[in-house]
Chain A
Amino acid sequence: NAGVTQTPKFRVLKTGQSMTLLCAQDMNHEYMYWYRQDPGMGLRLIHYSVGEGTTAKGEVPDGYNVSRLKKQNFLLGLESAAPSQTSVYFCASRSTPEAFFGQGTRLTVV
């Protein structure tokens, strides 16, 4: 049982480059979330989805886009990476009540 898998685990980007982070879950959960974690800031919600084909903005959505074309996958895109987007990104999926997290993606933008 893989749970929640994030790809990649590490990435270094140059300013202005684009990339997509993939989150895959095998638990048939409806709800999926993308967070970023910065020192002293806790986890801040970027975007979330309440089901296939739906997405919604969280607390810090600017500079990110998401898609949920398949129930099991939730993609986070950075169209033009900025150094302020250097962070650890976590994906989570939830049934009721617990949320399960991926292992995180450490992204550095130089």
Chain B
Amino acid sequence: AQKITQTQPGMFVQEKEAVTLDCTYDTSDQSYGLFWYKQPSSGEMIFLIYQGSYDEQNATEGRYSLNFQKARKSANLVISASQLGDSAMYFCAMRLGAQKLVFGQGTRLTINP
């Protein structure tokens, strides 16, 4: 089965702390891509970061980094120095081949002041 699993329904973190959101995936494809999206309470989907299956270095975008462990089939999102505005739903997604794009169930992150 080709699927994405996010095992943390909710996370609570103190402001300025780092946070890791877990994502594991299952695919037999050799070529795939992994994404993280943020969905604030307003509902829009905001692209955060991407990692290709052949990329050897972990992707980084500002305070976001993707901890890609291919052998473990995990693609965790790390947010450094969390801010109140980081409170949102976070979705991990996987591109299968060149076409299909499937999402995990999401993790609701709450940043406490």
A residues adjacent to B (C-beta < 8 A): 31, 33, 35, 40-45, 48, 50, 56, 58-59, 88, 90, 92, 94, 97-101, 103-104
Contact = CB atoms under 8 A, between A and B. Distances in A.
29 contacts: A31-B98, A31-B101, A33-B101, A35-B103, A40-B9, A40-B105, A42-B6, A42-B104, A42-B105, A42-B106, A43-B93, A45-B100, A45-B101, A45-B103, A48-B99, A48-B100, A58-B102, A88-B43, A90-B45, A92-B45, A92-B101, A94-B101, A97-B33, A97-B50, A97-B95, A99-B35, A99-B101, A103-B44, A104-B43
Interface in B62-113: 91, 93, 95, 98-106
A42 B95 CA distance: 16
B52 interface: yes
Contacts, number: 55
Nearest to B9: A40
A43 B91 contact: yes
B102 A59 contact: yes
A35 B102 CA distance: 9
B102 to A, nearest CB: 6
Contacts of A33: 101
Contacts of A104: 43-44
A99 B103 contact: no
B44 A44 contact: no
B103 A43 contact: yes
